[in-house]
Structure 1
Amino acid sequence: MGNSLNSMVFHPPKPTYSREDPHLHMLPTKCGHSIAAFYVRHRRSRFTILYSHGNAEDIGNVFHALMDRVANWDADLFIYDYSGYGVSEGKPSERNLYMDVEAAYDYLTQVLGVNPHSIVAYGRSIGSGPAVHIALHRPVLALILQSPVASVYRVRFHRLPFSIPGDIFRNIDKVQNLKVPTLILHGTEDETVPLAASQQMALKISEVYCRWIKGASHNDMDGKYVMYVEQALHEFFARITQQHPDALIKRGVWISREKHSTIYRNAAQAITT
């Protein structure tokens, strides 16, 4: 069952980069194989983004898409490939992805000397699984979840009232244990992972900021709707770095000035606007 589920869940594309890339890092994992990573530093960086990408992509195409945006965040970027993705060795599985993100975190902190409390874990889509995992098992500054899955089975069966044995990436059963500020970004027209997944998880997180982006689907938040994603990120980054965001604070609700969507601190009020 495990192998058949893995073959249905994981879709590594043909690698978009090679081992000869001069900027490539190869990291050892507890599985005994190596995974690939890119690390970019910014001279005015305030924190480091540990990025877990979505399915059917690798760090080659994601890295180039994020480069300009990361410069605007004043952040360093560490992005790694899962086992079996890109030029990473091994095969993808839930267990291996958890060990992959641990390897990335340990390389950042132990080899590159990055302060653990300056790391922001960022997971998109299936990458929300390893991002939640590392936020629960290692010190981080904050967590960002973009179009996250509640669990893999719930992607298909949206209204499951409880978890089913054999399900993987059961974020919905874990997020109540998060102790760090968490931003959730989700499109209202997501055809792959329903918005309800994020709404349900938001209600379980003690310190959560949500932005439901009107009209956005699963794969266009970093394209057509990127300006709204960027605004949400800038406000969240300002908040976690104790700066003064261009937002209104009123009765525990963080309301963005942008009318297109709203960020809420109170999970019960995490509704589309």
Structure 2
Amino acid sequence: MLKSLALTAAAGYLGVAGLLWFAQESLLFHPQPLYGKPRPPPGWILEEVRFTTQDGTKLAGVLLKPATSGPHPLLISYGGNAEELTASAPAADQFGARAMLLVNYRGYGESEGKPGEAALLGDAIELYDWAAKRTDIDASRIAVHGRSLGTGVAVHVAAKRSVKCVVLTSAYDSIREVAKAHYPWFPIGLLIKHPFDSAALAPKLMMPALFVYGSADTIIGPAHSEKLASLWGGPAEKVLLKGRGHNDLELDPAYMPAITRFLDRHL
């Protein structure tokens, strides 16, 4: 009987490990449909973006600009794992009078393809280069803002391109470390296919960074943001919002002012 129980337990363990391996894309990426026609803030200009990547995948999003003469500083946004970015277009002016680029990941909104770490990171670099070449954008004043999953994309772009400053909302040191916290009994290091290892890049990044995170976040615990901030090579500011979880940070009255003040100082 003991042997039978041991075999059953082993089979169950291997079964769950196998499920984590095969289902991790569905756990990590939650593509969302377009929620409606994106609209700009009052008085702003909205340009639809239709971008074809080097491998032929068509990405879709919007570029929002204040109705003032350019070239404009630019904030490029990278969303969470269940975020359709263009839905936030009407609130672009909350980040200040600077252009904002909102292009959905592969499989999200009207973007084609299938999401994955290599694809998201490669697309982000291509989009950065496209934006930096525009005459209405000031290439010397480009910032990146990542939220949750998107923090790994933002850190990668900051490591590969000339980014003025970085804003990270609910950041992680790596997806691998987050997964270890949720599944401590499994060999996560062997199972993770999309590690998004921001911690490996952080020590060489010298631009200013702002970390905004919630004390009650049970999805990406605050320790992950704090670890990444401690590894950051340049100035790292931290804003801990007491009692906030993973999905209600933006409801905190201190959230947007903290980001806007940071961008005003550095961008």
Name the SS of the counterpart of 2:81 in structure 1.
coil
User: Which residue in 1 is equivalent to 2:26?
Assistant: 7
**Does 2:141 correspond to 1:141?**
no
User: Which residue in 2 is equivalent to 1:221?
Assistant: 249
CA distance in 2 between counterparts of 1:148 and 1:173 reads 14
Q: Is residue 49–residue 76 contact of structure 1 (8 Å, CA) maintained in 2?
A: yes
The aligned amino acid for 2:27 is M
* CA pair 37-103 structure 1, distance change in 2 beyond 3 A: farther
CA distance in 2 between counterparts of 1:3 and 1:90 reads 19
CA distance in 2 between counterparts of 1:25 and 1:106 reads 14
Q: How does 1:132-211 map to 2 (within 5 A)?
A: 132-158=155-181, 164-165=189-190, 166=192, 167-206=194-233, 207-211=235-239
Structure with the bigger RCO (C-alpha within 8 Å, sep 6+) is: 2
Higher mean alpha-carbon deviation, 130-139 vs 145-154, is at 145-154
Q: How does 1:53-132 map to 2 (within 5 A)?
A: 53-64=79-90, 66-70=91-95, 73-111=96-134, 114-132=137-155
> Runs of 4 or more off by more than 3 Å in structure 1?
1-4, 43-46
2:77 is matched with which residue: 33, 48, 51? 51
User: Which residue in 2 is equivalent to 1:267?
Assistant: none
CA distance in 1 between counterparts of 2:144 and 2:24 reads 26
CA distance in 2 between counterparts of 1:119 and 1:29 reads 21
CA distance in 2 between counterparts of 1:153 and 1:110 reads 35
Greater C-alpha Rg: 2
Please report how far the alpha carbon of residue 48 of structure 1 lies from its aligned counterpart in structure 2 after TM superposition: 0.9
Q: Is residue 28–residue 103 contact of structure 1 (8 Å, CA) maintained in 2?
A: no
* Structure 1: runs of 5 or more not aligned: 242-273
Q: TM-score, normalised by structure 2?
A: 0.79
Q: Is residue 86–residue 102 contact of structure 2 (8 Å, CA) maintained in 1?
A: no
The aligned amino acid for 1:35 is L
Give RMSD over aligned pairs.
Answer: 2.6
* CA pair 164-156 structure 1, distance change in 2 beyond 3 A: closer
Please report how far the alpha carbon of residue 29 of structure 1 lies from its aligned counterpart in structure 2 after TM superposition: 1.2
The aligned amino acid for 2:142 is I
User: Which residue in 2 is equivalent to 1:236?
Assistant: 262
* CA pair 109-2 structure 1, distance change in 2 beyond 3 A: farther
Name the SS of the counterpart of 1:56 in structure 2.
coil
The aligned amino acid for 1:236 is F
Q: TM-score, normalised by structure 1?
A: 0.77
Please report how far the alpha carbon of residue 111 of structure 1 lies from its aligned counterpart in structure 2 after TM superposition: 4.1
CA distance in 2 between counterparts of 1:47 and 1:140 reads 11
CA distance in 2 between counterparts of 1:114 and 1:238 reads 17
Q: Is residue 202–residue 231 contact of structure 2 (8 Å, CA) maintained in 1?
A: yes
| Sequence identity (%) | 25
CA distance in 1 between counterparts of 2:63 and 2:262 reads 22
Please report how far the alpha carbon of residue 28 of structure 1 lies from its aligned counterpart in structure 2 after TM superposition: 1.6
CA distance in 1 between counterparts of 2:164 and 2:22 reads 35
* CA pair 18-100 structure 1, distance change in 2 beyond 3 A: farther
CA distance in 1 between counterparts of 2:120 and 2:173 reads 16
